[in-house]
Structure 1
Amino acid sequence: MTEPAPAASADPRRTEGLHPLHPHLDALSTLELAQTFASDQLDAVQAVRRAAPQLARAADAALPRLARGGRLLYAGAGTSGRLGVLDASELPPTFSWPPERALAVIAGGERAIRQATEGAEDDEAAGRQAIAGLQPAPDDVLIAVAASGTTPWVLGAVAAARAAGALTVGLANNPLTPLLTATDCPVLLDTGPELISGSTRLKAGTAQKIALNTLSSTLMVRLGKVYGNLMVDLRAGNAKLEARALRLVMHATGAAEGVARAALSEAGGQVKVAVVSLRLGVGVPEAQRRLEAAGGHARAALGEGEWGL
């Protein structure tokens, strides 16, 4: 008599579990699939909302380091790594954050951004080397992302950053995993099982994207890159951004289009400088001096209050 095959051992990671609500996912209609996948993403939003205190703690720990000139470093594999690359890439055009201060590494190297290199994530030594190659320093902040929380390459990156004295932030979608215990500021994004079992590009990836947006945007606001809710550290580099910069200056100052355009031109396209110049009725050099004295915070430069780190 044939012996039954031994049962596979259960994986304790929730992201690897079987979703209990849709065992017949493949039998749903196209509309039902679209509705089901979209609704499941709500779990990602809730996971980040629960993690808000952890994200705030990470931001508060990172702020003084970044204010002293530290860099944001990102490390991840697969989807997590690509999301880190995306976040790092968007900070310079959005907030005029220096590109050399937002660096991302991904398991498998640049090729892995567009082509899956699944085996690369198992190489812990390569993760160490990738971060060591960036020459991390104590004022740097590493944001390490791994849905499983167990990825060897990411854990190697964390080890190298910690050895250099850098602050480490870990984003993982499973509780009690090595990434959360190895980092200074652990952030749990508990999204549970995926609709397609183990496909963490779904709501686990969505939660990571929201968390990265939340963390980096919080940092940029606290660093003075925003006035009110206006993106005043924007530097116009194309027609769309030039039009956006003009609208921002007009909104922040109440100036007519021609006046705002002239101020923006004199300020070299720097929205924040143009706003301070127009609001205070001073020239661009004086506006720049006041912003520098205020640590780059437009509100403080305008005498509307200070925002310390």
Structure 2
Amino acid sequence: MPLFADALLASYRRAIESVAAASSDIRSAALRLAAIWRAGGRLIYVGAGSSGLAAAEDAAELPGTFGLDDNRIAIVLAGGTAEPFRINAFAEDDAAAGEQAMSAFGDLARDAVIAVSASGSTPFTVAAATGARHRGAFVIGIAHRPDSPLLSGADAPILLESGEEALRGSTRLAAGTAQKAALGMLSSLMGFELGHVHQGLMVNLKADNAKLRDRARGIVAMIAGISAAEAEAALREAGGQVKPAILIARGGVSMSEAVGWLAAADGRIDHALHLLRTV
């Protein structure tokens, strides 16, 4: 067991190193994703098997973490999404289903597709990505084999050379670790570019449960330099929205004025705070 444990740890280190090697490509893709989102486009995650689950997990976190409209985020998994935690191995080979799944979205000229496949040759995922590109989508391909069909056909290929699995054939380990890290980096950098991250804090989160309401209160208090009670009052005035609450608390403005300052700052709280200081 100790030797196998060491082999697993070594493979996880390689996985993270592979993401570091691809960081420039990830940053470039994140900038494009942010531009597509600002323009009103959709984000469509595509995958099969464990790669599909990694993609689905990242997609599912975006509304809560960054306040993104969940109606503009879609997840396409081989075998359908009714029971996403039961992997349908046969569905991975169904290229026709991949093409059909993307045709349901119609015109994709304003949209981005993030397709993930460890081998880069999964028929469902490759067909979905190819179909999406034919319909005008900007396609990001994430895979672990150079010159694979998914990467060759993507607008933004992201190669994660995570190496051989310690448990051969189990792509949920090193490959899965690299995918999760790359997807998390991709979406978090997009969120940063959209102005939803400030000082490492989630300033556009949806405070829809007790934990997140408490977190929102702490974020407003920390950035505005006020007490928790004052932050709570600002959040009430802002209807639970963190960014306007910060401006209300820090700049002594009304909700409508806070919204105006944010619009002038393209939604970035740092820019809005700077604008407030200059008046």
Instruction: Give the TM-score normalised by the residue count of structure 1.
Output: 0.86
| Structure 1 counterpart of 2:160, from 189, 195, 205 | 189
Sequence identity, in percent? 43
| Structure 2 counterpart of 1:115, from 86, 100, 108 | 86
Query: Structure 2: which 5+ runs fail to align?
Result: none
Distance 1:302 1:254 in 2: 13
State the secondary structure of the residue aligned to 1:113. Answer: coil
Q: Are the counterparts in 1 of residues 109 and 136 from structure 2 also a CA contact under 8 Å?
A: yes
User: How many correspondences in the alignment?
Assistant: 276
Question: What is the aligned partner in structure 2 of residue 139 from structure 1?
Answer: 110
Q: Are the counterparts in 2 of residues 106 and 112 from structure 1 also a CA contact under 8 Å?
A: no
| Structure 2 counterpart of 1:54, from 25, 31, 43 | 25
Distance 1:101 1:34 in 2: 41
Distance 1:192 1:304 in 2: 48
Q: Are the counterparts in 1 of residues 238 and 245 from structure 2 also a CA contact under 8 Å?
A: yes
Within-5 A mapping of 1:1-309: 29=1, 31-111=2-82, 113-303=84-274
Matching residue's letter, 1:153 = F
Q: Are the counterparts in 2 of residues 59 and 219 from structure 1 also a CA contact under 8 Å?
A: yes
Q: Are the counterparts in 2 of residues 168 and 185 from structure 1 also a CA contact under 8 Å?
A: yes
State the secondary structure of the residue aligned to 1:63. Answer: helix
Query: Structure 1: which 5+ runs fail to align?
Result: 1-28
Matching residue's letter, 2:247 = V
Distance 1:124 1:70 in 2: 25
CA shift, 1:169, in A, is 0.3
Distance 1:196 1:83 in 2: 18
Matching residue's letter, 2:205 = L
Matching residue's letter, 2:241 = Q
Question: What is the aligned partner in structure 2 of residue 11 from structure 1?
Answer: none
Instruction: Give the TM-score normalised by the residue count of structure 2.
Output: 0.95
CA shift, 1:63, in A, is 2.7
Q: Are the counterparts in 2 of residues 83 and 209 from structure 1 also a CA contact under 8 Å?
A: yes
Runs of 4+ in 1 over 3 A off after TM superposition: 31-36
Please identify, of 177-186 and 55-64, the stretch whose mean Cα deviation from structure 2 is larger.
55-64
Highest Rg: 1 or 2? 1
Matching residue's letter, 2:50 = T
Distance 2:82 2:6 in 1: 34
Q: Are the counterparts in 2 of residues 253 and 275 from structure 1 also a CA contact under 8 Å?
A: yes
